Amino acid sequence: MPLTPDLRSLREELERLTDNKKASFLQRFFKTGKGEYGEGDIFVGLTVPQSRILAVKYKDLSFLEILELLKSKIHEERLIALLILVHRFEKNPEEQRKIYNFYLKNTKYVNNWDLVDLSSHHIIGEYLLDKPKDILFELARSKNFWERRISLISTFAFIRDGKLDISLELAEILVDDKHDLIQKALGWMLREIGKKDLETEETFLKKYYKQMVRTALRYAIEKFPEEKRLKYLRGKI
């Protein structure tokens, strides 16, 4: 689409804020090399706080303009698009269903871990708090590992609300997932469950810890007392 005045203004601000040194670091940090999970992603070097400021400033972009940003090869443009959606979801209840559907329709552009982690539970999770959760099980079985991560991270909204069952059901589906970023999300989610109900976390761990990938297990037990942590790692529970 031709650039609207608002999109042109946003991109001019992005150009002024570009930090090549920081961009070079982010390219490495987010694994954008050939064969890596973020292959081809392009960074211009904005921080998340800078992106949040721009998201609020341009919060009134149309959905067509937001989609234009979301389709961008530039990581920070996609992040700003998602942060606009999060802001609008929180501030405008009448838009929530539209934003939820828009997000689900465009998950292929939510394609790095920070994009997932800064948006999915704020939109997908919050929207589904009092609704059927079938879509999360569809996402958990997706061939796209970003969608599988979305399924897990979305449940942080449930965990905060003290609702742990869906997270645990998804954990059972993904406990053997081969992707490192899914295992990290799984372990992180289990750790958050433990903050709400340690007994529930340990019930899951005692059933699965011997088959869990080490990455997920280490994340899940990170806050355990050292003696108990070592027992899990040594398979002696």
What are the tens digits of pLDDT across the range 164-219?
Answer: 999 999 999 999 999 999 999 999 999 999 999 999 999 999 999 999 999 999 99
Going by C-alpha positions, the residue among 212, 217, 215 that lies closest to residue 228 is 217
48, 79, 110 — which closes off a domain?
A: 110
Residue-range definition of the domain harbouring residue 37: 1-110
Q: Of 110, 139, 158, at which residue does a domain stop?
A: 110
Kindly compute the dihedral angle of the four CA atoms of residues 180, 186, 189, 193, in this order, to the nearest 10 degrees. Answer: -150
| pLDDT for the residue numbered 1 | 62
Residue 80 token pair: 């700003």
**Average pLDDT for residues 151-173, to the nearest whole number?**
97
- Paired tokens of 202: 């340990």
What is the CATH number for 32?
1.25.10.90
Structural domain count, the chain: 2
The verdict on 8 and 76 lying in the same domain is yes
For residue 230, give both structure tokens.
């070592």
Same domain, 106 and 185: no
**What pTM did the predictor assign?**
0.95
Residue bearing tokens 């341009």: 58
Domain end, chosen from 86, 110, 134, is at 110
100 and 162 assigned to the same domain? no
Virtual CA dihedral for 34, 37, 40, 43, nearest 10 degrees?
Answer: -120
Same domain for 45 and 75?
Answer: yes
Closest CA to 115 of 37, 24, 35: 37
One domain for residues 3 and 94: yes
Task: Please indicate, yes or no, whether residues 144 and 188 belong to a single structural domain of this protein.
Answer: yes
Assess whether 81 and 18 both reside in one domain. Answer: yes
Two tokens, residue 11:
């991109």
Residues 168 and 210 in one domain: yes
Beta-bridge partners for 74: 42
Residues 96 and 127 in one domain: no
